[in-house]
Structures are given as structure tokens and as C-alpha cells.
Amino acid sequence: MRQLDGVTLDKVFTDKCSGGDTNRPALQAMLSHVREGDTVVVHEISRLARNTADLLALVQQLTDKGVTIKFSKEQLTFTGDKENPMNKMLLTMLGAVSAFELAMINERRVEGQAKARAAGKHMGRTAKLDKATQEKVRKEAAMSGVNKAKLAKDNGISRATLYAILKAA
């Protein structure tokens, strides 16, 4: 993982899901694992939380436990020190910029997808079966007594794909 290159850590918590909220397995495991005196190293602010409110709440939760949190990319460290309002202001501003950047990326992605659809481009995975084969499968499935599992297997598709084809009819 490029974010951890050259960094030596005692324990690593890595989520493989969206950072859209704080209900992530590895984040929750880290929050329950850390103890007073520990240091949490985060590659960049956007890796901890995607919105400013969650970011500030997580940093507050960790520092209230006596945990130091370091953001490598931004070179910010939080210890719960009430004497450093500049760090909190920077965290709030950088968190807001990060959230804004994510919103702009998503907006451009949606615009690009709409433009591609309007140009007739196919979005998503390619179909397992061509239109003619899908129609043949629908006709076979419509016959009474047809075993759907066998029909799916005979056509090299899963039952879920078969039911998706039948539903799309």
C-alpha cells in the first residue's frame, strides 16, 4: 500500500470499504483498540473521514482518550492540547477542503456518466449473454416445468443472472 511505504507501525487497521461514514469495521476496531499514550498515524485527512463533522468528532474522541493522532501528508499532530487552536482551525479548513474536493469529483463523475450515456456508451459490466440468447432463455424459462438452475447452468450463467434477465423482460 503506497500510503504506508517507509512507515513502521505496530498495528495497521485498513478498511476496504467507502469512507462515507464512521461505521467501518477497521475504524471501529482501531477506536476500541487504542489506549492512552498510543499514537494513531493517518496518511491524510480524507482517509479518516469524508466530512468535517465526522473528522472533528473522531479527532476529539481520540484525543479525549489521551491518544495522539498524526496526519502524515498534512503534517498535523493532535494531542488534545487545548493551547493550540491553530491546529484545530487547520483541521477544520483542510477537512472542509477535502469534503469539497470529494463533492466536486463526484459531480464531475456524474456529469461524465450522463454525457457517455447520452452518446450511447454502455455503462457497467458487459452482458453475459447477447440479446438473442437472452430472448431464447426467456422463452425457455416461460415453459412450464423448466428447472431454472439447470437452465442457468446450460447457458453458463448464474441463477442470479438468469433472474435478472427474466426481470428485465
CB count within 10 Å of CB 18 equals 8
Which whole-number Å values give the CA distances from 138 to 36, 83, 152, 164, in the listed order? 62, 70, 11, 11
pLDDT tens digits, 25-75: 889 999 999 999 999 999 888 888 888 899 999 999 999 999 999 998 888
Which CATH code of 3.20.20.140, 3.40.50.1390, 1.10.3720.10, 3.40.50.150 fits the domain covering 2-118? 3.40.50.1390
Segments making up each domain of the chain, as ranges: 2-118, 131-168
Q: How far apart are CA 155 and CA 162, in angstroms?
A: 9
How is residue 157 written as a grid cell?
Answer: 450463467
pTM to 2 decimals? 0.64
Mean pLDDT of 80-84: 71
Q: How far apart are CA 107 and CA 7, in angstroms?
A: 34
pLDDT tens digits, 120-140: 998 888 888 888 998 998 988
